Amino acid sequence: MIGLTLKSYVTSRILLTIPMIILLFTFVFLIVRILPGDPALLHFEKAVDPEVLEEFRHTLGLDVDPLTQYVTYLAGIPFGDFGLSMQDYSPISGHIAVRFPATLELTIYAMLFAVLFGVALGVRASKKYDTVQDHGIRFFGIVTYAIPVFFLGMILQFIFSIWLGLFPTGTRYDPHYDPPATITGLYTIDSLLTGNIGAFFIAIRYLILPSITLGLILCGIFIRLTRTNMLETLRMDFVVAGEARGLSSGKITYGYALKNAFLPVLTMIGLQFAALLAGAILTETTFSWPGLGTYLVQRIDHRDYTAIQGVVVFFGILVSLVTLFVDILYAWLDPRIRL
């Protein structure tokens, strides 16, 4: 049977992603709008004047039937319209644009730490198979994965911030200095683009603890996955042939074996991106990080149901697009999955 071309594979994955996003939005919409309880009434903690309530509903588009609300909201999503906030009637897309760069920056560095640290330990464990080092690394991966992210964050804050005084306890940037000029919204990138090296190191200092906290939770997955695939790869014929030719252990391990064992890890990066976003909510709250996670918690406190819906839908779309990108990249690197 002739395998699909890369173009056909990409098209099929996109066509599968679109209904998945619509299904996600429908599910969120039903929870917020259709289940028992009027979001407009729930927003007000006490009795409200009927005229005020009616004006409130009209401004937010809640005074029409649910089907019309659904179609209107769905039609606005491709244009970045996630509705209006119940708190001040401001566009939710504007709030997301301001907060998302902080969450994205934290997620990127946490993922880098999780992958680099997890893969390094996974390779080490496979090289020291069934030794004390191997068992210790596996135990470390299980423990870090099982620890609640908020508890780990508080422990790291106590040790490295309060006790040793090496890192700040929270926030994103030193309040005594102006942050770098906004270009991408990512402080580390913006500081380099503007040549502000001092701002770069300040941003990195504030990123270290929350990134390590979030990254440690996931590094156990990469430890186990890398170890398992490396054990299989190290038993393959090309590794034996390389050893017979006298190639160094490092060349065989990192130059050949790790490349072959890395494809499943690449797939897991996309799958765990969703877990990082979910964990970022607790991490941002623990470290007072001004990202979408903290914003979502604040909207929940204020019973801002339209903002909650907008952020959840945005997260869902983002995760779907990242998963699509990883699927396409994986297909490009390994044509066998298109067969």
For the segment 250-300, what is each residue's pLDDT rounded down to a tens digit? 777 777 677 777 777 777 777 777 667 766 788 888 898 898 888 888 888
Residue 1 has a pLDDT of: 38
Position 307 confidence tier, pLDDT thresholds 50, 70, 90: confident
Position 109 confidence tier, pLDDT thresholds 50, 70, 90: very high
Residue 208 has a pLDDT of: 93
Residue 49 has a pLDDT of: 72
42/3 Cα distance (integer angstroms): 54
| DSSP one-letter string for 71-97 | HHHHHHGGGT---B-TTT--BHHHHHH
Could you tell me the two tokens for 225? 């996955």
Residue 3 has a pLDDT of: 45
The answer, yes or no, to whether residue 224 has pLDDT greater than 70, is yes
218/130 Cα distance (integer angstroms): 23
| DSSP one-letter string for 268-325 | HHHHHHHHHHHHHHHHHHHTT--SHHHHHHHHHHTT-HHHHHHHHHHHHHHHHHHHHH
Q: What is the pLDDT of residues 25-47, one digit of tens each?
A: 888 888 776 666 666 666 666 66
Considering the chain, what is the average pLDDT of its residues?
82
Q: What Rg, from alpha-carbon coordinates, does the chain have?
A: 24
Q: Measured at the alpha carbon of residue 121, what is the angle toward residues 115 and 124, in degrees to the nearest 5? A: 135
Average pLDDT in the 78-95 region?
85
Residue with the larger pLDDT of the pair 4 and 330: 330
Reported CATH class of domain 97-301: mainly alpha
The answer, yes or no, to whether residue 63 has pLDDT greater than 70, is yes
Tally of CB atoms within 10 A around 14 = 12
Residue 333 has a pLDDT of: 67
The amino acid that residue 142 corresponds to is I
Residue 212 has a pLDDT of: 92
The pTM is what?
0.84
| DSSP one-letter string for 13-64 | HHHHHHHHHHHHHHHHHIIIIISSS-HHHHHSSS---HHHHHHHHHHHT-SS
Q: Would you list the domain boundaries of the chain? A: 1-87+303-339, 97-301
Residue 111's closest CA among 187, 213, 258? Answer: 213
The answer, yes or no, to whether residue 335 has pLDDT greater than 90, is no
63/53 Cα distance (integer angstroms): 10
Q: What is the pLDDT of residues 162-212, one digit of tens each?
A: 998 889 988 888 888 888 888 888 999 999 998 889 999 999 999 999 999
Q: What is the pLDDT of residues 117-167, one digit of tens each?
A: 998 898 888 888 888 998 999 999 889 888 888 889 899 999 999 998 889
- How far separated are the first and last CA of the chain, in Å rounded? 8
